[in-house]
Amino acid sequence: MKLLRSLAWLTVLLPALVPVTGCATVCPAIAWINFVTVAVDGDTPNVSWVQLCTPEACSRATERPAPQTVLPSATATPTGANGLGLPPGGGPTVRRIMVEKVGPDTWRFGFEIDSPGSVTVRALDAAGKTLAEKKVPLDWQRVGRTVGCGGPQTASPVTLRLSTP
């Protein structure tokens, strides 16, 4: 009888206990891209491309990039074989910076699950000569998902001003 009473209580309490043990946050294993837009202003007719660099990598500098689109630092390691972009041992991954021209004087840069604190932007002419360069801090705002699970962010737009000759 005592066993039956214990089982009865267990069946009454079990549904109440399951939600308590299931309160852990479970984040989907989905990657995202954080974006920043760079606009050039001023004397822009000679600007062919805008390049963005972090201390670990640079975006490509032309519309027809070479196969290697990042410049890893000495401390960066290649993407690990675990398929998650994490190298063995949890060290830093190579940053990949995507770029697309979205307007006559505007470029958009993307970072895979990364939001660097500052970047260097430079305007280049057709021969690759630097016309203007500026180091800027980036201010990121979350635009999706949650603080606990992470998610996409967008940085405040950056303007690179070219002086008139």
pLDDT band of residue 82 (cuts 50, 70, 90) is very low
- The matching CATH number, chosen from 2.30.30, 1.10.10, 1.10.3210, 2.60.40, for 31-67+96-162 is 2.60.40
Please report, for the chain, the start and end positions of each structural domain, with discontinuous segments joined by +: 31-67+96-162
Which segments within 18-157 are labelled E, that is strand?
A: 33-42, 49-53, 97-103, 106-112, 118-124, 130-137, 140-142, 153-155
17-66 pLDDT, tens per residue?
A: 444 445 566 776 678 899 999 999 999 999 999 999 998 899 987 765 44
- 119-136 mean pLDDT: 95
Q: Give the burial string for 66-95 (b: 16+ CB within 10 Å, else e).
A: eeeebebeeebeeeeeeeeeebeeeeebbb
Q: How many CB atoms within 10 Å of residue 153? A: 22
Indicate the pTM of the whole model. Answer: 0.66
